[in-house]
């Protein structure tokens, strides 16, 4: 597998798109020490301080169709949560769709982007930010963000974490390609953050309120609304 390293870059996500357009192979990884314009989901920025985290994007050239795109991001969260649990023996949870939480704060985020048509994805970029070494965060992030070091006391080794993640990802990815999300959705539910809590789900045009129940085998989030009815959602952002 090819790993392309930068000491500083605007966004590994942007670089990975460039490379993918130019035909680099499936599995290429772009990684950096610092991002000056780290991108988060829904147009947000991602704080990517020098040497304080793992900021990386990798390219997949999947054989499956577009509708599995949600599932691959959920699958990636399962792999990442499992990796973190194994290495640091703590309860890492997944806030749907794909934020990793520990002790009620976000320690990692995943951004999936793709390029292709309805029935065939040309390429997919999975961007992962993991806060490893921060001991303080800017005022606006303090209450919501944390790092592995802050929560576990370990001083993580970035290389070790990256190696473990990709070893696990490769193993499980062949299973995902063969069997889909089914073998992983129970693990996802075991790690689902906020089960039984009442939330607001913000979508582009509407907002739903309800209690988090689980995800189904497609990866849709099931909420129970106040009238007892179930709502199945495909996208949106959870607020507690």
Q: Which residues bind ligand BTN (CB under 6 A)?
A: 11-13, 35, 38-41, 44, 46, 48, 55-57, 99, 109-111, 127-129
d(CA 97, CA 88): 22
DSSP-based three-state secondary structure for 141: coil
DSSP-based three-state secondary structure for 189: helix
| Alpha helical stretches, state H, the chain | 12-21, 69-88, 148-152, 158-179, 182-191
CB atoms near residue 202 (< 10 Å): 14
Smallest distance, ligand BTN to C-beta of residue 168, A: 18
Residue 239, φ and ψ in degrees, nearest 5: -125, 130
Smallest distance, ligand BTN to C-beta of residue 12, A: 4
Residue 52, φ and ψ in degrees, nearest 5: -100, -5
d(CA 228, CA 99): 27
Chain residue at closest Cβ approach to ligand BTN = 109
Smallest distance, ligand BTN to C-beta of residue 15, A: 8
Smallest distance, ligand BTN to C-beta of residue 101, A: 11
In DSSP terms, 222 is beta-bridged to 214, 232
| Nearest to ligand BTN of 55, 92 (CB atom) | 55
| Nearest to ligand BTN of 38, 210 (CB atom) | 38
| Nearest to ligand BTN of 102, 128 (CB atom) | 128
Smallest distance, ligand BTN to C-beta of residue 225, A: 26
| Nearest to ligand BTN of 41, 90 (CB atom) | 41
d(CA 208, CA 223): 9
| Nearest to ligand BTN of 39, 105 (CB atom) | 39
Smallest distance, ligand BTN to C-beta of residue 23, A: 21
| Nearest to ligand BTN of 47, 226 (CB atom) | 47
List CB contacts of 206: < 8 A, sequence separation 6 or more: none
d(CA 34, CA 216): 37
CB atoms near residue 29 (< 10 Å): 18
């Amino acid at each position: 597998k090819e790993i392309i390293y930068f000491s500083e870059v605007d966004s590994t996500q942007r670089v990975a798109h460039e490379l993918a357009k130019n035909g680099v192979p499936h599995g290429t990884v772009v990684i950096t020490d610092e991002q000056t314009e780290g991108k988060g989901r829904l147009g947000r920025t991602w704080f990517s301080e020098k040497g304080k985290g793992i900021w990386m994007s990798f390219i997949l050239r999947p054989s499956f169709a577009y509708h599995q795109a949600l599932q691959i991001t959920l699958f990636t969260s399962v792999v990442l949560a499992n990796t973190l649990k194994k290495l640091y023996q703590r309860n890492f949870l997944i806030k749907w769709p794909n934020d990793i939480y520990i002790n009620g704060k976000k320690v990692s985020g995943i951004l999936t982007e793709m390029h292709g048509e309805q029935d065939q994805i040309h390429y997919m970029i999975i961007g992962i930010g993991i806060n490893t070494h921060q001991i303080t965060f800017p005022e606006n992030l303090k209450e919501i963000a944390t790092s592995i070091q802050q929560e576990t006391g370990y001083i993580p080794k970035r290389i070790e974490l990256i190696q473990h993640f990709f070893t696990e990802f490769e193993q499980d990815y062949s299973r995902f390609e063969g069997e889909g999300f089914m073998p992983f959705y129970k693990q996802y539910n075991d790690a689902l953050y906020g089960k039984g809590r009442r939330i607001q789900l913000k979508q582009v045009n509407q907002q739903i309120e309800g209690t988090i129940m689980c995800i189904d085998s497609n990866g849709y989030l099931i909420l129970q609304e106040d009238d007892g009815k179930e709502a199945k959602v495909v996208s949106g952002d959870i607020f507690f």
